[in-house]
Amino acid sequence: MKILILKFLQFVLLLIFYGRYTIAEKTTQEAKKTYIVHMDKFNMPKSFSDHLSWYDSSLKSVSDSEEMLYTYNHVAHEFSIRLTFQEAETLSKQLGILYVMPEVRYELHTTRTPQFLGLDKATTLFPASKQQSQVVIRVLDTGVWPELQSLDDTGLGPVLSGWKGKCEIGTNFNSSSCNRKLVGARFFTNGAML
């Protein structure tokens, strides 16, 4: 009788071990990562009234449970999403999708961009003219330090009246830290690799 009970317990333990291994294997295969999906805005089917509907339809064709983390439509037509590798592969084959790229975490290379790029006052990109004003440089960064001298707004005029950016509160960042040089700062954490 004892041998029968021992064999039964061994069988139960084996089932538990096998079940945990199978679940772990499935979880590994289905691990989700953040992806950027770049769309060809000129290839939007006429059946969609706007780009967001198109993005949503493309996404729903590969995943019922996921929602877009962010959408981008000024510089590029993209959205970010958390998907499994297989979902990303399937999505990348759809008409109108230029590429599906996994999120990449970049490390800081420099805090002295002009010197890093080899720019100085003697060799500027634009000659001294009115063309160099009214230029907005868009940078997606992992952080900003408003106390840096390079962000001092002394001597600058008012922020352009057409500026539509925002200065949001974020971790260790107060919206009052923005000024006439640091005219916008947003806080994006959905899907971030922290």
What CATH number should be reported for the domain holding residue 95? 3.30.70.80
Q: Which domain holds residue 166?
A: 122-187
**Tell me: the pLDDT tens digits for 24-68?**
545 545 789 999 999 998 888 899 999 889 998 898 889 877 788
Those residues whose C-beta lies under 8 Å from the C-beta of residue 190, and which sit 6 or more positions away, are 69, 70, 80
Query: Are 80 and 39 in the same domain?
Result: yes
What is each CA distance from 79 to 33, 72, 137, 163, in whole angstroms?
14, 6, 21, 23
Query: Are 48 and 91 in the same domain?
Result: yes
Residue 13 lies in a domain: no
Rounded CA gap, 159 and 167, in Å?
Answer: 13
Residue 5 lies in a domain: no
**pLDDT category of residue 149 using cuts at 50, 70 and 90:** confident
Query: Are 83 and 128 in the same domain?
Result: no
* Total count of domains within the chain: 2
Residue 115 lies in a domain: no
Query: Which residue shows structure tokens 């510089």?
Result: 75
Structure-token pair, residue 19: 């079940």
**Tell me: the pLDDT tens digits for 72-118?**
887 788 999 999 999 999 999 998 999 999 988 766 666 666 666 66
Between residues 145 and 78, the one the model is more confident about: 78
